[in-house]
Structure 1
């Protein structure tokens, strides 16, 4: 610690000031000046702008030179900050995104799984989601397409600054879209509180989507693909569109094959790019991502949907990543080789699904952008949200996609 003025330039050394009753006594002056003396200059009015004096400018320049030019050279300052930030970044990333030894993102497995659902009354079910999350978005789309809005109420959480999910009401932020809500089922302030309500408690990852059993006071499932399968097949007795089957028996094999391709390379692939903690891990992830997008672009040139002429669950899973691609993944996750706009078939395919009734209502672009750019501090420390890409203007997304006339070709998946 520096003692007194010993290291200041001579013209910056300030004589000691002695405090006395009613004012300050300066040893260079013989008179004592009272702070409230009428002989002092009048106080500056609030609408006046202070003008720096030459002596003040000289003082600032001297301090700047002292701190930057003599005390810590810019090169050393940058190196010091870089080292400190890199260590801090790795610590934060280890909490945000667990990695394998090579620095590749390793997604934690879902804790609560369900393959069957025995429901005599759907009133006990409640769905928890977050609008930025592509995994939760899957469940919202299938819920809407099957007509389960009344049977399965939803509470919409928002990402908090600490990365947790919290409940808050946002009045009319996006008209005709889903918006954040309070917890309609349990009245909790955070999703973690809801998880802790389950029998036996829970202190693990509190993730969305999550299907809650109100009667048993328990978490039924927090794996997105399990939930959309349950919504598709297990609640037809309570759905307003029960005849829609997004996973028909004759297509289950193709659905499974495509999902085994798009999940690791696209759905999770964008996260593997964004959360990579080494150049090697990033290069591997980004190459696998764009190689798969190239394959999808070719396939969709001759097939309206992934498995033919019918929309299936795997299309829903691909859509929720594609709709976020140029919006957030191209930028904050460094998926920069190409924009989705540069893939004519993929971009038209995305618009085709977006234009299906009820799907657009589940796409809240403001919440999606805020959820990534304002919350993922290690990837965007300034929390500055870029302007929304022009391709996400509703008028652009609703332009004719021309995919109705595509004849199905059975492309190989290899």
Structure 2
């Protein structure tokens, strides 16, 4: 690893919730709580997939506030600053219930076993796949196939490079500790975005002709790009809105039920600009950019494809989003 290069801690609680309960946690409606923050791109994946699959009534959702301190995410959006289901003020409490003194990252998304109050998993990459593969008995009628068997190898291949160069690439640029590390991450990011743009010139979605897990994973970075990564993380060769193909692709997804209705730009900006004081010492949160452009026509329909395949869109999002 080069000097000053940012490295993400990838030590997660990898216990899985499965249909057969082989890890000790069987899929059960109402037993678990998905804890997220709307600010976090990794948690945003789980929010989107939960909604697309119609799991709202089976898997409740606790929403942390957009900021946190070194100890943990907090439930400051809830009355009294306490999650109404878990009864805790800090997500840290659910981690400590599982492993006393847990010394790795207290991250979202996390799925908590409500009866015991213990975190089951915070393995964000596996969580969304298992929602697709293991929770099928609880999916809504018409739920899309986000990880179909015939496309999994290609989805995995796309996800690998998108994670390395884009999802985590913006962080590698933003948290670089040297000019050399920053420039390497910057070039890898925009080289990959250029390749993705070429890929999407003639196809509506990344893999196949419907929305898949690959689109969910790219979207959560793209939707934060102009509001946060362009300036805050110095990813400033181009704004998303200056990359025509990716901008149209992202708007297409944003306007698809289950995507844009999970986004809160104010919470996104509050998180990055207030928490990362080493990058933004004043904690001042920018007022822009204007989010109105996300609702402008995208013209991607002309490429064909059907967002939900043989399925249907999810219903109207609840006011609370819970």
TM bracket, shorter-chain basis: 0.7 to 0.9
Residues 146 and 232 in structure 1, CA contact (< 8 A), matched pair in contact too: yes
Aligned match for 1:127, one of 21, 34, 42: 34
- Distance apart, 1:243 and its partner CA: 3.9
Contact 1:114 1:226 in 2 (8 A): no
Describe how 1:195-206 pairs up with structure 2 within 5 A.
Answer: 195-198=95-98, 202-206=102-106
| Partners of 1:154 and 1:184 within 8 A in 2 | no
Distance in 2, matches of 1:386 and 1:266, equals: 23
Question: Does the 8 A contact of 1:156 with 1:182 survive in 2?
Answer: no
Distance 1:398 1:326 in 2: 15
Tell me which of 394, 397, 402 is aligned to 2:294. 397
Which residue does 2:235 correspond to in 1? 335
Structure-2 residue corresponding to 1:106: 7
Residues 180-195 of structure 1: pairs in structure 2 closer than 5 A? 182-195=82-95
* Shift, 1:199, TM fit: 5.6
What is the root-mean-square deviation of aligned Cα atoms in Å? 2.0
What is the TM-score of this pair, normalised by structure 2?
A: 0.87
The 8 Å contact of residues 52 and 143 in structure 2, kept in 1 or not, is answered as no
Shift of residue 133, structure 1, vs aligned partner: 0.7
**8 A Cα contact 1:156 1:181, kept in partner:** no
TM-superposed deviation, 1:181: 7.3
Deviation at 1:140, TM superposition (A): 0.1
Question: Structure 2, unaligned stretches of length 5 or more?
Answer: 306-322
Deviates more, 1:297-306 or 1:195-204: 195-204
The TM-score normalised by the length of structure 1 is 0.68
Higher relative contact order (CA 8 A, sep 6+): 2
User: Is 1:147 the equivalent of 2:44?
Assistant: no
Unaligned runs of 5+ in 1: 1-99, 172-179, 409-414
Q: Distance in 1 between matches of 2:222 and 2:45?
A: 12
Aligned to 1:320: 220
Match of 1:214 among 73, 94, 114: 114
Residue correspondence of structure 1 range 369-408 to structure 2 within 5 A: 369-390=269-290, 392-393=291-292, 396-406=293-303
SS of 1:129's equivalent in the other structure is strand
Q: What whole-Å deviation, never above 9, does each CA across 1:338-384 have from its counterpart, x for those lacking one? A: 11111111011111111111322210000000001122100000111
Q: Is the alpha carbon distance of 1:376 and 1:130 closer, same or farther for their aligned partners in structure 2, counting shifts above 3 Å?
A: same
